Chain A
Amino acid sequence: GNSVTQMEGPVTLSEEAFLTINCTYTATGYPSLFWYVQYPGEGLQLLLKATKADDKGSNKGFEATYRKETTSFHLEKGSVQVSDSAVYFCALSEVNAGKSTFGDGTTLTVKP
């Protein structure tokens, strides 16, 4: 079956530091890949996505590239802010599949 493995947290960074959260996946088909973000007390919301190999998803300064050869979708941001403190989930979905597969989430705390 499908699975998503993401970097264990928590991750603590100083403001303006570089962020990488690793995500690797296994899938039987050709999935779409996602990063969701969950701010305290809220539900998950889509941060970015990529639907095919070599696509780069980007939003709010975050980027992730769909790497089929390494089955990875690492999240990066060049300069984090305190407001980026949240839980980040990597996920995959396949066309014609009823369920999405989520990683366990990585908690990011950014200190001023």
Chain B
Amino acid sequence: NAGVTQTPKFRVLKTGQSMTLLCAQDMNHEYMYWYRQDPGMGLRLIHYSVGEGTTAKGEVPDGYNVSRLKKQNFLLGLESAAPSQTSVYFCASRGGTLNTEAFFGQGTRLTVV
């Protein structure tokens, strides 16, 4: 029973490099989310998806792109990493409209130097 799986768990990037974070869920959930967590800032929503093929912007979308080509996967891309994107990234998923509990992955710790 894997739940929500994020890869990688840790990554160090140089400024200007690109990377993709992968989130996979095996619960057939409709909704998926990408958050970042910074000290003293709580969770901030980057992008989210309410179904396969759909994406929407959250509170802090700049510098990130996402794709939801398959229902079980939600990818977060950084095209040109900046030190301000150093953070811990969490993916979450939630069932349909009647299932409002969110399930979180273990997080990806990203450092941009």
| A residues with CB within 8 A of B | 32, 34, 36, 41-46, 49, 51, 89, 91, 93-100, 102-105
**Cα distance, A84 to B97, chains bound together (Å):** 31
Chain B interface bracket (under 10, 10 to 19, 20 to 34, 35 or more): 20 to 34
**Beta-carbon contact of A105 and B42 below 8 Å:** yes
CB proximity to A under 8 Å, residues B92-107: 92, 94, 97-98, 100-107
> Of residues B31, B43, B97, B107, which shows the largest number of chain A Cβ atoms within 10 Å of its Cβ?
B43
Tally A-B pairs: CB < 8 A.
59
CB proximity to A under 8 Å, residues B14-66: 31, 33, 40-43, 45, 48, 50, 56, 58
Which A residues lie within 8 Å of B90 (CB)? 43-44
Specify the chain A residue showing the minimal Cβ separation from B56: A98
Those 6 A-B pairs whose CB atoms lie nearest each other, nearest first = A104-B42, A43-B104, A93-B100, A44-B104, A98-B50, A32-B100
Q: How near does chain B come to A32, taking the closest CB pair, in angstroms?
A: 5
Which A residues lie within 8 Å of B40 (CB)? 104
**Cα distance, A104 to B43, chains bound together (Å):** 7
**Beta-carbon contact of A93 and B102 below 8 Å:** yes
Q: How near does chain B come to A10, taking the closest CB pair, in angstroms?
A: 11
**Beta-carbon contact of A34 and B42 below 8 Å:** no
13 CB-based A-B contacts, threshold 8 Å: A32-B100, A42-B107, A43-B105, A45-B104, A49-B101, A89-B43, A93-B100, A97-B97, A98-B48, A98-B50, A98-B56, A99-B58, A102-B42
- A49-B101, A94-B100, A98-B56 as given contacts; A43 in contact with B106, CB under 8 Å: yes
